[in-house]
Amino acid sequence: MAQDDKKTYDEAATRTKLEAELPSWEYRDGWIRRTYKTGGWPFTLMVVNAIGYLAEAAFHHPDLNVSWAQVTVKLSTHSADGITDNDFELAKRIEEQVTWLPEESASLDGFEKGFGKKWTR
């Protein structure tokens, strides 16, 4: 077990779990990661703020790479020196929040025209 007794996943198990539960995420260089494309800076800031809220609530903090129209999220549990259930759980929460848009048939209109493009799911 790792330093803090959290179960860590080896590379093969991590890839299998990602494929089954988070197919838009990848494993690379010891991190699980995903890049979200946005419609520009205002959307990027909203994504960063949503992720920040979730990370603080979970007390589990990802590394973020932020640019004009994208945010890359990287997760690994430093205290366990690897990928743990904490990383998968936070990744699922981030995925749910960042990719949510109202259904076409919903009463919510979604983004106003002219505000920017929708980000990719």
pTM: 0.84
Architecture in CATH of 11-99? 2-Layer Sandwich (3.30)
Cα separation, 42 vs 117, whole angstroms? 11
How many other β-carbons are positioned within 10 Å of the β-carbon of residue 46?
Answer: 15
Taking only the tens of pLDDT, the chain with its 121 residues reads 444 568 999 999 999 999 999 999 999 999 999 999 998 999 999 999 999 999 999 999 999 999 999 999 999 999 999 999 999 999 999 999 999 877 776 676 665 544 445 555 4
Q: Which helix (H) or strand (E) holds 50?
A: helix 41-58
Question: Domain coordinates of the chain in residue numbers?
Answer: 11-99
Q: How far is CA 58 from CA 7, 17, 24, 53, 69, in A?
A: 18, 20, 21, 9, 26
